Chain A
Amino acid sequence: AQSVAQPEDQVNVAEGNPLTVKCTYSVSGNPYLFWYVQYPNRGLQFLLKYITGDNLVKGSYGFEAEFNKSQTSFHLKKPSALVSDSALYFCAVRETSGGSYIPTFGRGTSLIVHP
């Protein structure tokens, strides 16, 4: 079975400061990992993914995430937050083999960037 946890319902950060949104996962084998962002009144938008290879993945809007197999984590990071980054962020996981095709989504973390 696969599962994903986003331990923080909300993250607050000041504009210009670095931000981290946490995600941990559980799978039987190896994972495919994804981050999505949701702005108000919009659908989820893909930010970045880890499939294989380099543990540091770079994505849209200056975001990056680091895959850590030993800690089963895939935290989303950005060196300098913008007010426009304020949104709801979702982590998702899927096992690379076996099981169902369906990705499992976390409950989401609300990121608030203060001016």
Chain B
Amino acid sequence: DAGVIQSPRHEVTEMGQEVTLRCKPISGHDYLFWYRQTMMRGLELLIYFNNNVPIDDSGMPEDRFSAKMPNASFSTLKIQPSEPRDSAVYFCASTATPEGRSPLHFGNGTRLTVT
């Protein structure tokens, strides 16, 4: 099992540019989460999906952020336009059990720097 795969590992972009982060969850996992980690705010949940359907996007900071899950093996988080305050590490995580007994499996993250 390759685990949760995120790409790219690092992204450096200029303010105003569009950024797309990608995630491949573990096969068979039907829950997918997007988190953002910063020193100031810690680990923040942005959005999560169940069976490819967005369930709760209340953590998405603003309309510049959007997430999709077109199929069970792929999800994207898009920022358009990007701003310097979006600089953070973005994590994708997946899990299988709806009752909450199973832990989340995290990818190694995408470190985003917006200049």
Residues of A within 8 A of B (CB): 32, 34, 36, 41-46, 49, 51, 90, 94-96, 100-103, 105, 107-108
Contact = CB atoms under 8 A, between A and B. Distances in A.
B25 interface: no
A32 to B, nearest CB: 5
B100 A96 contact: yes
Main secondary structure of the interface of B (DSSP, over half): strand
B103 A105 contact: no
A100 B56 contact: yes
Given A32-B100, A107-B42, A102 B106 contact: no
A108 B42 contact: yes
Interface residues of B, number: 24
Nearest to B103: A46
Contacts of A96: 99-100
B100 A44 contact: no
A44 B101 contact: no
Contact of B31 (A36, A41, A101): A101
A43 B48 CA distance: 17
B78 interface: no
A49 B103 contact: yes
B45 interface: yes
A32 B99 CA distance: 10
15 contacts: A36-B104, A43-B106, A44-B43, A44-B93, A44-B106, A45-B106, A94-B100, A96-B100, A101-B48, A101-B55, A101-B98, A102-B48, A103-B100, A103-B104, A107-B43
